[in-house]
Amino acid sequence: MSERVAVVTGASAGIGAATARGLAAAGYRVIAAARRLERLEALAAEIGGEPCRLDVTDPASVAELTAGLDRLDLLVNNAGGALGLDPVEQSDDERWRVMWETNVLGLMRMTRALLPALRAAGNGHVINVGSVSGFEIYTGGAGYTSVKHAARAVTQTLRLELLGEPIRITEINPGLVATEFALVRFGGDEERAAATYRGMTPLTGDDVAECIVWAAGRPPHVNIDEIVVRPRDQASVAHIHRRPGG
Ligand code: NAP
């Protein structure tokens, strides 16, 4: 069998970088895609993959990646994140626009563009990285929870629309993961970002990547609809066990 090919979006950091490593170790040729090319080049050199500059909010960038593909077995829609923690009354239009463009429209654009290649592969698979914020809510989180709720609806709709086709659809929904997520959310404020994980043990990018690689590795007739994976210290987005002095 010829080499299986995976595209991982948001592969320059966190869950995406760990997933690219995990999929390469599982035998995939990985196309590691994101905006920060230098990071992707280092990662690709390490895992023997291919770096690809991609901005999922830019249709031309998505088209360029698509045109360069000769085969595709697995698409991991991972690019995304949150901006701010603002109450609805103080919502910032631009932050919300970027969150919707990246987490929802980006996922839609990538999926729409790559479905023909996944179909042609014979056994395609789309794995979307959602979040527990796709079915839970918290104060100040409406910008992010609304996009992850929307992305979840897109994922579930896709599974209905592709019924009967040889394409699997999976959603991976993590709780708190220690990545650059909080740093990006709080505009580079390291202290505020660190407070997100204070006194508790978050998941690592590798923990989530293992779920993705496992779901991808099931036989083609087995569809893992979703995996919810949280730290033991987190019972819901709003219920976190923090050890004093941690
Ligand atoms: P991260 O370390 O900040 O990584 C985010 C990745 O997305 C980066 O590689 C970034 O790369 C990429 N990205 C952002 N905007 C992009 C764009 N317009 N085009 C292409 N790539 C873009 O955060 P992470 O935690 O690994 O996040 C990965 C996914 O997990 C996200 O969808 C996030 O919502 C989800 N998630 C995270 C957590 C958590 O607690 N960390 C929990 C649940 C779900 P560039 O900046 O180089 O483009």
Is 9 close to ligand 1, i.e. is its CB under 6 Å away?
Answer: yes
Say if 44 falls within a structural domain.
yes
Arithmetic mean of pLDDT, 179-189 = 98
Give the pLDDT confidence score for residue 1 in this predicted structure.
56
- Of 76, 177, 198, 211, the one to substitute when testing ligand 1's pocket (max ligand atoms within 8 A of C-beta) is 177
- Of 15, 43, 54, the one to substitute when testing ligand 1's pocket (max ligand atoms within 8 A of C-beta) is 15
The model's pLDDT over 16-35, given as tens digits with 9 standing for 90+, comes to 999 999 999 999 999 999 99
Is 35 close to ligand 1, i.e. is its CB under 6 Å away?
Answer: yes
CA of 2 relative to ligand 1 center, distance in Å? 30
Say if 169 falls within a structural domain.
yes
127 contacts 212 by C-beta, under 8 angstroms: yes
Rounded to whole angstroms, the Cα distance separating 29 from 132 reads: 29
Rounded to whole angstroms, the Cα distance separating 212 from 231 reads: 16
Residue range of the domain that includes 127: 5-174+203-229
Rounded to whole angstroms, the Cα distance separating 76 from 61 reads: 17
Residues β-bridged to residue 174: 229
15: closest CA among 171, 177, 144, 133?
Answer: 177
Give the pLDDT confidence score for residue 112 in this predicted structure.
98
Give the pLDDT confidence score for residue 126 in this predicted structure.
99
Say if 16 falls within a structural domain.
yes
The CATH number of whichever domain residue 141 belongs to comes to 3.40.50.720
Say if 105 falls within a structural domain.
yes
**What mean pLDDT is reported for the chain?**
97
Say if 235 falls within a structural domain.
no
**Residue 210: CB atoms within 10 Å:** 16
Residues 6 or more apart whose CB falls under 8 angstroms from that of 216 comprise 6, 23, 26, 74, 125, 127, 170
Say if 124 falls within a structural domain.
yes
Catalytic status, residue 197: no
Arithmetic mean of pLDDT, 112-138 = 98
